[in-house]
Amino acid sequence: MKKSVKHLTLCAILGALSIVINVITRQLMPSEQFMIPLFVLPLIIGSILLGPVTGGMMGLVVDIASFFIGGGINFLPLMTLSRVMWGVLPFFFYYQKNKIILLVGIFLTHLIATAINSLALFIAFNVGMIPFISARLAMLPVNVVVLTFLTIIIISRLPEEIQSLIKNSSYQEQTNV
């Protein structure tokens, strides 16, 4: 599958932006329990603009790079899977540009990512899963509304040239998968 220079450049910019946001927010807020995962915004936008395959690869690269750049101690492959989900699933909920469907898609993606992350923490550190998941589920509605609102604003303000990727590259990638 041939990718254009614009496609790859946008992928690199969004991936780098996600890494920077991830590393900075982890330094400012060490507790993930009450954090809005702003680093997933570039992954959501990448999924919508560039398609699920490219979005998934972005999620994989972002998680691994964030681990090394952020001075991570434990690498958890299940956590990587949740980042990949953020790069894949939103694409399938934006095809009609319906804000409610996008909200549901981000909710489902967040729910899946939360379950995967809680399971990864349970497996890796052998701690009770209920405290992790209950605090995260309490923040889920706020996170979903904020992420959906920001996604809609960012996509609506992108230049027309980049917005055309939604019509072209994403549709072609979906039909070629």
Domains in the chain (CATH in brackets) are 5-176 (1.10.1760.20)
Predicted confidence (pLDDT) per residue in 33-89, tens digit: 567 888 999 999 999 988 999 999 999 999 888 888 876 667 888 889 999 999 999
Predicted confidence (pLDDT) per residue in 115-149, tens digit: 888 888 788 877 666 766 777 788 889 999 999 99
Predicted confidence (pLDDT) per residue in 86-113, tens digit: 999 999 988 667 888 999 999 999 999 8
Q: Residue 75: which of 60, 85, 89, 86 has the closest Cα?
A: 60
Identify the pLDDT of residue 33. Answer: 58
Task: Say how many C-beta atoms besides its own lie within 10 A of residue 41's C-beta.
Answer: 20
Q: pTM score, two decimals?
A: 0.84
